[in-house]
Amino acid sequence: MTTTLPLNTISRFAPKAIIRRLALPAFATAVAISSIAAAVFNPQAPAAAPIAPVVSVTVPITTDTAKPAAPAAAPELMHDAVTALPPQHIPTVRIVMMEVTAYCPCPKCCGPKAAGITASGKAIGYNEGRFVAADSSLPFGTKLVIPGYSAGQQVEVIDRGGAIKGNKLDVFFATHTEALKWGRRHIAVTVIE
């Protein structure tokens, strides 16, 4: 609730608490402020003569009888509760017997137009040169654990190859000598999707 009182009436009738909360408009004069201050500090002093022109001020009058709002009730049943976190992807792990061969960035392994970029667009230096070329049945980003390669750490599928079909993989090595040393192996590969 708000009420509008002439400024010279506030000093005579308004309680001190309201005067303390009073927010005067920017156009209020220094005379009006001093008369209010005098009334607050000396309530027995006679009221000052009306100031011309009389300035009106809107004074909010509040009561402290309002009760604070009750906290929101917790949901009674689980289906009433809101899910706070999105469901997480739980990886599936399977072991597949695969024929694993090796390749390097040389023109003999990758062709004369090889530019050091994999089919996924990543450079051959990605993951310190430890990655795999696989058939499109294994999407880019699929993690594999290949015994004997990359110290048993997970490696990512980031490349493709024309001769790689079905359960075949090509592991990448930095040099042709390392690729020849690997040779062709039939290994149980752990696929993490």
pLDDT, one tens digit per residue, over 125-150 is 999 999 999 999 999 999 999 999 99
pLDDT, one tens digit per residue, over 21-76 is 444 444 444 444 445 445 445 555 555 555 444 444 444 555 555 566 666 666 56
Please, which pLDDT band fits residue 117 given cuts at 50, 70 and 90? very high
**pTM beyond 0.75:** no
Alpha-carbon span 187 to 148, nearest angstrom: 9
3-state secondary structure of 126: helix
What's the confidence (pLDDT) of residue 163?
87
Mean pLDDT of all residues in 109-138 = 93
2 pLDDT above the threshold of 70: no
Tell me which amino acid residue 154 is: Q
> What CATH number was assigned to the domain covering residues 93-192?
2.40.40.10
Q: Domains of the chain: which residue ranges?
A: 2-60, 93-192
Mean pLDDT of all residues in 82-87 = 66
